[in-house]
Structure 1
């Protein structure tokens, strides 16, 4: 059962990635009009290359991603990947991939940025209410 769910999520991710690349970073469905990037990371356990479509926020000329997993009790796998291997790359729009270093925000900075995220996308406030874990926020600094 868990394998079926994982396969379904990977299939959905693959569809979003294809649509993203065909349409210069724009996708429809539940993500229509929302800024997405493609995060290329290294698997924390497997060491394999991974690609995940992720909502991002540009705040004070910096790029942030939020490990909300829609309020589930476990962080998405890409969070563990960035913690293990902070060197990654991102695709935004039609631009070629850019190398980044991921920095997980410390609590005070995380809270300040998360408040801005919730102002822009109120669903993220609901995600935090659904879980006891503190939803992590990463800055993706261009290198």
Structure 2
């Protein structure tokens, strides 16, 4: 897995591509829509934005994968939303929407994981690379 600096550089490049192209480029990856997820830092209390893909969208619920490329540690954004589930999401360069993040239960994950890996088999490879169970996060609109 790339070091944190490389991950930050990739996120910056992705956001820049979206901005420069007016949202015409970078809105999907391997057939999955991209999204910007903004969390509140669990240590800093400051907003942090990352680019992710959404392998599943069911109505208003967006599913994202806390894979970090199969790294043995959870991504920082996952740890942030675990501690502070109120997030903002911009799907395909759309408007930012306030959402609530919830980690899928074991039963939900068992049902969703095959659907996630059917959309992008790279997630199955990531899971094989690590001993940790890669969490799925469900993002739903805040009332």
The TM-score bracket by the shorter chain reads 0.7 to 0.9
In structure 2, which of residues 47, 52, 55 is the aligned counterpart of residue 54 of structure 1?
Answer: 52
Report the Cα offset of residue 63 of structure 1: 0.5
1:1-143 → structure 2 map (5 Å cutoff) = 5-23=3-21, 24=23, 26-27=25-26, 31=29, 33-61=31-59, 62-143=61-142
RMSD over aligned Cα atoms: 2.1
1:15-68 alpha-carbon deviations (Å, 9 max, x no partner)? 11111233326329x946542100011011111110000011234322100000
Higher-helix-fraction structure: 1
Unmatched segments (≥5 aa) in structure 2: none
* Structure 1: gaps of 5 or more residues: none
What TM-score, normalized to structure 1? 0.87
CA distance in 1, matches of 2:67, 2:24: 21
Distance in 2, matches of 1:74 and 1:94, equals 28
Task: Give the TM-score of the pair, scaled to structure 2.
Answer: 0.87
CA distance in 2, matches of 1:118, 1:100: 24
Q: Which moved more, 1:96-105 or 1:5-14?
A: 5-14
1:75–1:125 distance in 2 versus 1, CA, 3 Å: same
